[in-house]
Amino acid sequence: MIHLRIIAPQEDAHHALELLCEADSVLNVVHLHGAAQKPEGDVILCDVAREAASVIIGDLKELGIAKSGSIAVEELDSAISERFDAAEKAAPGLRSDAVVWEEVEARTSEDTELSVSFVAFMVLAMQLSVVGIVLDQPILIVGAMVVGPEFGPLAGICVAIVNRQGRLAKRSLIALAVGFPPGIALALLTTVVLTAVGLFPEGFTQDDHPFTRFISSPDLLSLFVAIVAGAAGVLSLTSAKSGALIGVLISVTTIPAAANIGVAAAYGDWGDALGALLQLAINLAGIVASGVLTLFLQRRVYEVRRRKHMDEPERKAAGLPGS
């Protein structure tokens, strides 16, 4: 279930109440007249079946509440009532497949912020990758995958393309463009320093490192993995499931490859550096393309549901136009 807190002027609040009380997928509607002070207006609290959340929020936006007041969206972890079950049955589709687009947009917007912590995580993830690549230790590569934060901006690009949000796309691209170079540069520096102090070997070839050799050897399987990773990451994002494991899946094709550019450059192996760069480019492109396609299909399902909703009785009760 999704919990909504709506603040609106009295007239808009009246229309919102008509909408919410008429919808079978909405329950626990509470109206607090004049309770809001900033902005001034009425407060409406309600719970909505996740499957119908974006449709109902779309109606509230159409009533102008997003401009004259505010709409807060919160996920309910658990709800105990037969009325909740009835509301979910009244909403078409399955809860696990439902996409709350406002939630997706808010989450990706937060994850695309270029911050000191974002760059720091990129650098730290690549530092772990450096040791994992040189020592041929997959466990360290997995650790680097967990730390890597790059899925946020990649998801942001996908959402921006599907929803035509130029500002979000720009912010996501800047985060990636600024995040990768420092990580690669410091990966190179770390390799040089640790080699100089004797912690890394004087020579390094990918052929002697079978467990991590794939990082700088792009092929069609690299593209396949990127496509699967992009689709899985977006599905995890839109279905509000835990993104920890998906983050690992995304990083397996990005963070290690970026770090390997620095490692190979430090050893003067420009062939492997070029291979790692190509691996990184292929996988970034594959992830974004797959993510965009997945989001596009989900968006089409929502648009069909939205069109069917246009003539439903709750819209007429709120004075909204039909199809």
pLDDT of amino acid 57: 94
Q: What is the full per-residue pLDDT of the chain (323 aa) written as tens digits?
A: 899 999 999 999 999 999 999 999 999 999 999 999 988 999 999 999 988 899 999 999 999 999 999 999 998 877 788 888 888 888 877 777 788 888 888 878 777 888 999 999 999 999 999 999 999 888 888 888 888 888 889 989 999 999 999 999 999 999 999 999 999 999 999 999 999 999 999 887 777 777 777 888 888 888 898 898 888 888 888 875 544 445 545 555 689 999 999 999 999 999 999 999 999 999 999 999 999 999 999 999 888 888 888 888 888 888 888 77
Q: What pLDDT is recorded for position 116?
A: 93
**Cβ within 8 Å of residue 236, ≥6 positions away:** 242, 243, 245, 246
**Rounded distance between C-alpha atoms, residue 184 and residue 187, angstroms:** 5
pLDDT at res. 244: 43
Between the two ends of the chain, the Cα-to-Cα distance in Å is: 27
Report the distance separating Cα 173 and Cα 162, nearest Å.
15
pLDDT 10s digits, 197-220: 999 998 877 777 777 778 888 888
Say what the pLDDT of residue 13 is.
Answer: 93
- CATH among 3.40.1160.10, 3.40.50.720, 3.30.70.120, 3.40.50.12590 for 2-98: 3.30.70.120
According to the model, what pLDDT value does residue 243 have? 47
In CATH, the number for domain 104-305 is 1.20.1080
Distance CA 149, CA 41 (A): 40
Task: Give the distance between the most distant pair of CA atoms in the chain.
Answer: 76
The reported pLDDT for the residue numbered 246 is 53
Q: Is the torsion defined by CA of 26, 28, 30, 36 positive or negative?
A: negative
Map out the domains of the chain as residue ranges.
Answer: 2-98, 104-305
Residue 4 dihedral angles phi and psi, to the nearest 5°: -115, 140
* 223 contacts 279 by C-beta, under 8 angstroms: no
The pLDDT value given to residue 248: 45
Note the pLDDT tens digit of each residue in 66-94: 999 999 999 887 778 888 888 888 887 77
Decide: residue 116, CB within 10 A, 0-12 exposed, 13-18 middle, 19+ buried. Answer: exposed
Partners of 55 in the β-ladder: none
Provide the total of helices (H) and of strands (E) in the chain, helices listed first.
14, 4
Enter the pTM of the model. 0.84
Question: Nearest Cα to 262, choosing from 252, 272, 254?
Answer: 272
